[in-house]
Amino acid sequence: MTKGKISVYISENNKDCDLVLQLLDKKSVPYEVKNVTKHPENMKDLQRQGIYGTPATFIGDEKNPILGFQEEKINLTLGVLDKNYLLNTNSSHDA
């Protein structure tokens, strides 16, 4: 599993934000929530990085956050999904 802290920028009443938090909870991964609805300074932090939407998930030392709810990408970055899984699910099956 990845080392380093995980920060998730969320907004309220956002289904994708809820899904990201549920996924991290299911994996028993500790994370910090940065609510942009309740704390506008969190949105300003995102905007300084050129990000204007939520959820934005920062995992460990990764330079780029995962935007939106991308379950496989989150799992892969956390190290809980084998890279071959993505290769097998994205490969074409020629007849």
Q: pTM for this one?
A: 0.81
Domains and CATH numbers, the chain: 6-89 (3.40.30.10)
Rounded Cα distance, 44 and 27, in Å: 29
Long-range contacts of 24-31 (CB under 8 A, 24+ apart): 24/74, 27/75, 27/78, 27/80, 29/1, 29/78, 30/6, 31/5, 31/6, 31/7
pLDDT digits (tens, 9 = 90+) for 21-66: 999 999 999 999 999 999 999 999 999 999 999 999 999 988 899 9
pLDDT digits (tens, 9 = 90+) for 55-90: 999 999 888 999 999 999 999 998 876 555 545 555
